[in-house]
A and B are shown apart, each in its own frame.
Chain A
């Protein structure tokens, strides 16, 4: 239960919507689009968001690329970053926040910049993923630069148990390799180079025969 609540928050009466039971404040000013002329946006962030707007010119399709840009810039999605993106996109910060909170990969709290997603779904847990997560949390859990978290199936069950280290898929990871991997993550080295998914040949014997 604790696990699920960490990801999908529940509020009064178990609702998934915070504040649903409070009356609307009719005296409050309506939410507005931040003023593009007065909101300061770091040049790099603006360029990244505008690139998304060029690639996805219709409707609000550039929201997700914009949120990625904010997360890249700040390491998470802070209110001021969302405000800046909203100014560039010409939408309200609330609209962006609503989208950001739906997706697992957008962090709404400041956590370590280095991400370590350990898959704990079925195939990986059949191969010892829960122990792997525990070991990695033991090694890196205290490190403020690292965000270690259990994750749903990452689409690499062939290398179970596995983890995605800053987007690089590695596995199968033996428990004895955890200290080495933790050291590489801390130092920003290439994680377990011999175990990286992109180097793995297909398992299909018919392919090898050809």
Chain B
């Protein structure tokens, strides 16, 4: 029974419409939650052990409890920016079960007494935004959004806001700036959004998957939900598996399932019986693991103990035929493009790393460059305003640490290749010179 909570009925045609959703028991948990006391609801969310699914893994109930009480305008913002390379779980939830998310948002809003809520979706998700917009309109029409919902006296508004293509707007404070109509530059913390967030009001920000899990928590009760998964990693998690696997896709598993079971059992492992060279456990910004780590359990603590992170729960599998230099190239290119430019270590560090990987590819690098590259990663880590800089430094640092031999032999091979080319060009030029003199 623990297998699917978020994905229950996920492929049923029409689940994105309110009629089918309600017929499957939808919005019942909202009705129940509205009868509870706010404090009890937050106790319930804390007791469930649900941790944030957006990347940082912060306990959801605890974050909700930070929202101050009082008469000021409070906000709930759902982070549907989902731009971490390798991650595509929120997309599936929004596209196929948008009402589950809306129900979660309203329950969260009631818990922290917020009457204005937003879902911020990345601009590229045009089809998903249309589906979600239609679902919000349906909910409004039924009186599930608006005034005095279910006769509880609670009023709530929900608006869908679209981003326009910027990874950094997934960072919660960058998102808030973007939602306020600014460039999406992250803010210095503290103050944290819980105290001073959107329009300076207390703001609860959670990921799509985190909020979508709330109806299940109300249904199962805190203890029922906490019973799924393992210690300090409660519940089920959607795992986006992509890269060199037979069956890429989203899989819902109880936290604590073995990584091998997910990669080989569910996603079918690499094609043609190839071996795994490395894998990212939680999106492209987490340190890579190798084939030796396949028996690590997929939960927050085990992955951390193995030297990586659960992150967004997106596994990218890289098979033995791929080049680590190429991986580093894609990583550095992405993060240097997405750096918002506010802090120097991130803006320049990502760019220099990119240049250094380019040198390796061109054949002008020396093995010493690897030390410089590793040093640059260290200089970025922990020295930036947000963790985008670290998000490049961690995986690239881990690639260099774990695959140094491969980097060195590629540096060597590319140098030789370049020298051969230059020598050939030189020889060709000499023939010409001789031709003139003759």
Contact = CB atoms under 8 A, between A and B. Distances in A.
A60 B316 CA distance: 38
Of A117, A126, A168, chain B has the most CB atoms within 10 Å of the CB of A126
A206 B83 contact: no
Interface residues of A, number: 58
A204 B181 contact: no
Contact of B249 (A60, A68, A169, A204): A204
B21 interface: no
Helix, strand, loop or mixed for chain B's interface?
A: mixed
B271 to A, nearest CB: 10
A157 B243 contact: yes
A204 B88 contact: no
Interface residues of B, number: 76
A56 B118 CA distance: 10
Contact of A123 (B86, B341, B351): B86
A60 B247 contact: no
Contact of B242 (A8, A65, A103, A158): A158
Given A59-B199, A67-B164, A123-B243, A3 B252 contact: no
B173 interface: no
Interface stretch (A137-145, A148-156, A183-191): A148-156
B111 interface: no
A155 B88 contact: yes
A153 B91 CA distance: 13
Nearest to B167: A152
B252 A204 contact: yes
B11 interface: yes
A59 B316 CA distance: 40
Interface stretch (B28-36, B51-59, B324-332): B324-332
B284 A122 contact: yes
Interface in A170-187: none
A127 to B, nearest CB: 7
B212 to A, nearest CB: 14
A123 B284 CA distance: 9
A99 B86 contact: no
Given A64-B163, A99-B182, A156-B91, A206 B85 contact: no
B85 A157 contact: yes
A159 to B, nearest CB: 8
Interface of A: 1, 3-4, 7-8, 16, 55-56, 58-65, 67-68, 98-99, 102-106, 117, 120-123, 125-127, 151-160, 164, 167-169, 197-198, 201-208, 210
What 5 pairs between A and B have smallest CB-CB spacing?
A203-B249, A60-B181, A104-B165, A167-B126, A157-B242
